[in-house]
Structure 1
Amino acid sequence: MLYSLHEYAYHSALPWRLGAQMARDFWNNPANPLGDTAVGRTMYASSELVAGLTRRYGKPAWNIDSVEIEGRDVRVVEDLVWSSPWCRLLHFARHPADMRKAGRKGAEPAVLIVAPLSGHYATLLRGTVRAFLQDHEVYVTDWANARQVPMLEGRFDFHDYIDHIREMLTALGPDVHVVAVCQPGPPVLAAASLMSEDKDPNRPASMTFMGSPIDARLSPTVTNQLAEEKPFAWFKSTMIHTVPPPYPGMGRRVYPGFVQLYSFMSMNEEQHVDAHRRYFEHLVEGDGDAAEKHEAFYDEYLSVLDLTEEFYLQTIDIVFQQHLLPRGELEHRGRKVDPAKITDIGLMTVEGEEDDISGVGQTQAAHGLTPNLPADKHETLVQPKVGHYGVFNGRRFRDEIYPKVRDFIRRNEAS
């Protein structure tokens, strides 16, 4: 019912949205002599704000056409290299001729960036991908919106996620380095554990976990506390809703992206209100650069996807309530998952000192679960003055975190 009401509210706002768009275009028209007056700019800002708040934010484009390497622009092409109904594995291929001109003639380490399946599209990692493209062959998981997957495609749960990671690593071949951002930490560690136990030649050369809830019992945040305080039945009865028509996945039970979005926004309500107030002021003042930064952030932040009921509920149960992986009780397809079987995969953990989603220590827990990994294969980084998103995006990530991850990958590439 909630999903249908949400859709009804969106469509009911159509007259307001169209009216705001018409007013915005009228007051922003260069031919309008009143457009550059105080009244005109205020009317434009008001209509732009209403149009933005009532429109739907679809899946963003990657828009990675080139990357600067050694001071040269290197063309980038997005290729599909593997797919299932639930995920597209993308390769951001750098143009060979441009690479040679930039002085990069040899093969560079292959990196699989596992994007979180937690409400936002993989494009949230655009900045992460751009950084890694400077020194790596980059692959990234582009997860599907559950409401777009027909019921005939069946289920997708936590264990299917583990299988997907293993299948993608197999498709890419040996010596791939995995970077798991936030949510994928536990299933990626599980996949690596099983591959190590099987002595799979396609097991990763290294793993980097960034702000991941490997052991959510440590330094619990508001998000962790909610998961522990509420009974499992509450999540099933409150957070799960049915996809309405006309979506391809109509009838599928999901955790809607808009529920996740509203939950996150409510945690920092004043911050979002202030951001939109400043946006309004920038529009009135004609500060286009500041307004564009606001629009770019919220175009990404407000674009959300749905998770299947089974994946969401199993993640709550396995990761945030029973903590099966750190307790040594996780089973996958009838097999015990034992990270102690990992003996030769480099392990780096990256945490943000001010992370309010995955507290400091939750990601580092991976080191304690891999006792048979040599000391020189472990590396820990707690980055000062960054929160959750700063771990994988932004200036401090580019200037301070990424270089250390790059060097870690190189050391494990050589070994």
Structure 2
Amino acid sequence: MLYALHEMAYTSAQPFRLAAQLARGFWKSPLNPASETAIGRTAYASAELFESVTRRYGKPDWGLETITIDGKPVRTVEQVVWSTPWVRLVRFARNVGDLKRAKKPVAAPSVLIVAPLSGHYATLLRGTVETFLQDHDVYVADWVNARTVPVLEGRFDFHDYIDHVRMMLAQIGPRAHVVAVCQPGPPVLAAAAVMAAENDPNRPASMTFMGSPIDARLSPTVTNQLAEEKPFAWFKSNMIHTVPWPYPGFGRRVYPGFVQLYAFMSMNEQRHKDAHWDYFKNLVKGDGDGVEKHDQFYDEYLSVLDLTEEFYLQTIDIVFQSHLLPRGLLEHDGKLVDLSAVTDIGLMTVEGENDDISGVGQTQAAHILTPNIPVERRVLYVQPDVGHYGVFNGRRFREEIYPRARDFIAANEKLCAVPNQSASAA
């Protein structure tokens, strides 16, 4: 019912949105003599603000057709190299000629960046991907919005996620490197352990976890406390809704992205109010830089996707309530996931000192849980003065975190028994 009401509210606002668009055009028109008056700028800003907060935000583009490496432009081609109804494995192939002009080696370690499946699209990691492209052949797990997947495609749960990570690593080839940002930490660690126990030739050469709830019992945040305080039945009764017609996933039970978005925004309600007030004032002043920065952030932040009922509820249970992985109780395909089987996969953990989503200690717990990884293949790093988002994006990520991750991957590439050098040819 909630999903249907949400769609009804959006549809009902359509006439007002159209009116706001007309007003915006009228007050911005150079033919309108009042457009540069205080009244005109205020009217335009009001219409623009209303339209921006009520519009439907679709999946953003990656926008990585050209990146800069060592001051030189390098073209990339977005290639979907493998897919299922639930994910697209996207490779950003760098142009060979451009790499040579930038004096960069064509062969580079393959890196799979596993984006979080927690409400936002993989494009939230645009800055992460662009930075890793400086020195790597980058693949991204681009998860699909559950409301676009027909019910006939079946279910997708926590264990399907583990299997998808394995299949993506198999598509890339032996001994790639995997980077898990936030939510994917537990299933990626489980996938690596299963592959190690089976001596799978496609097991990763290294794994890097950034702000991941490997053991959510440590340094619990508000998010962790909510998951623990509410009974499991509460999440099933209050957080799961049915996709309405006319979406392709009509009838599928999901955790809607807009519910997650409202939860995220309520955690920093005043900050978002202030941001929109500043946006309004910048529109009135004609501050193009301020407006552009606001638009870039919120165009991404307000674009959300739905999660399947089974994946969301199993994540609540396995990761945040029962803590099965750190307790050694997680089973996959009828077998216990044995983290001690991980012996030749490098491990790096990155945490933010001010992370209010995954508290300090939750990610580095992976080091305790994998006792048989040699010490020379480990890196534990806590970045001062950053929150959750700063762990994988922004200036400190580019200047302080990424160089450490780059060096860690390079060291494990050399230690890897089967070198994985793939030509990054567009």
2:257 equivalent to 1:264: no
2:156 equivalent to 1:151: no
SS in 2 for 1:412: helix
Q: Deviations over 1:170-227 (max 9, x none)?
A: 1111121100000000000000000000111110010000000000000000000000
Q: Is the 2:96–2:106 contact (alpha carbons within 8 Å) kept by the matching residues of 1?
A: no
Greater shift after overlay, 358-367 or 25-34?
25-34
**Partner residue of 2:350?**
350
SS in 1 for 2:107: coil
**Partner residue of 2:4?**
4
Mapped to 1, the partners of 2:340 and 2:263 lie a distance apart of 36
Q: Deviations over 1:353-390 (max 9, x none)?
A: 00000000000000001101111111111000100000
Q: Deviations over 1:96-137 (max 9, x none)?
A: 111111112341111000000000000000000000011100
SS in 2 for 1:109: strand
Mapped to 2, the partners of 1:104 and 1:360 lie a distance apart of 36
Mapped to 2, the partners of 1:34 and 1:378 lie a distance apart of 64
Mapped to 2, the partners of 1:63 and 1:111 lie a distance apart of 19
Greater shift after overlay, 86-95 or 24-33?
24-33
**Partner residue of 2:226?**
226
Q: Is the 2:99–2:106 contact (alpha carbons within 8 Å) kept by the matching residues of 1?
A: no
**Partner residue of 1:84?**
84
2:378 equivalent to 1:378: yes
**Partner residue of 1:171?**
171
Q: Deviations over 1:297-332 (max 9, x none)?
A: 000000000000000000000000000000000000
Mapped to 1, the partners of 2:106 and 2:147 lie a distance apart of 42
How does the TM-score come out when normalised to structure 1? Answer: 0.99
Mapped to 1, the partners of 2:235 and 2:256 lie a distance apart of 12
How many pairs does the alignment contain? 415
Mapped to 1, the partners of 2:363 and 2:187 lie a distance apart of 13
Q: Which runs of 4+ in 1 moved over 2 A?
A: none
**Partner residue of 1:255?**
255
Structure 1 residues 199-348: aligned runs within 5 Å: 199-348=199-348
SS in 1 for 2:260: helix
Aligned in 2, Cα 1:217/1:28: closer, same or farther, shift over 3 Å? same
Q: Deviations over 1:235-285 (max 9, x none)?
A: 000000000000000000000000000011111110100000000000111
Higher relative contact order structure (alpha carbons within 8 Å, sequence separation ≥ 6): 2
Deviation at 1:350, TM superposition (A): 0.3
Q: Deviations over 1:53-86 (max 9, x none)?
A: 1111011110111111122100010001110000
Greater shift after overlay, 40-49 or 25-34?
25-34
Structure 1 residues 397-412: aligned runs within 5 Å: 397-412=397-412
**Partner residue of 1:59?**
59
Q: Report the AA paired with residue 42 of structure 2.
A: T
Q: Which runs of 5+ in 1 are unaligned?
A: none
Mapped to 1, the partners of 2:10 and 2:358 lie a distance apart of 32
- Compute the RMSD of aligned alpha carbons: 0.6
Mapped to 2, the partners of 1:10 and 1:122 lie a distance apart of 24
Deviation at 1:33, TM superposition (A): 1.5
Mapped to 1, the partners of 2:351 and 2:281 lie a distance apart of 35
**Partner residue of 1:139?**
139
Mapped to 2, the partners of 1:104 and 1:406 lie a distance apart of 14
Mapped to 2, the partners of 1:28 and 1:252 lie a distance apart of 43
Structure 1 residues 38-49: aligned runs within 5 Å: 38-49=38-49
Q: Report the AA paired with residue 96 of structure 1.
A: V
**Partner residue of 1:394?**
394
Mapped to 2, the partners of 1:106 and 1:182 lie a distance apart of 30
**Partner residue of 1:367?**
367
Deviation at 1:333, TM superposition (A): 1.1
SS in 2 for 1:344: coil
SS in 2 for 1:82: strand
SS in 2 for 1:108: strand
Q: Which runs of 5+ in 2 are unaligned?
A: 416-426
Deviation at 1:414, TM superposition (A): 1.1
Q: Report the AA paired with residue 308 of structure 1.
A: T
Q: Report the AA paired with residue 124 of structure 1.
A: L
Greater shift after overlay, 351-360 or 66-75?
66-75
Q: Is the 2:383–2:401 contact (alpha carbons within 8 Å) kept by the matching residues of 1?
A: yes
Mapped to 2, the partners of 1:105 and 1:378 lie a distance apart of 26
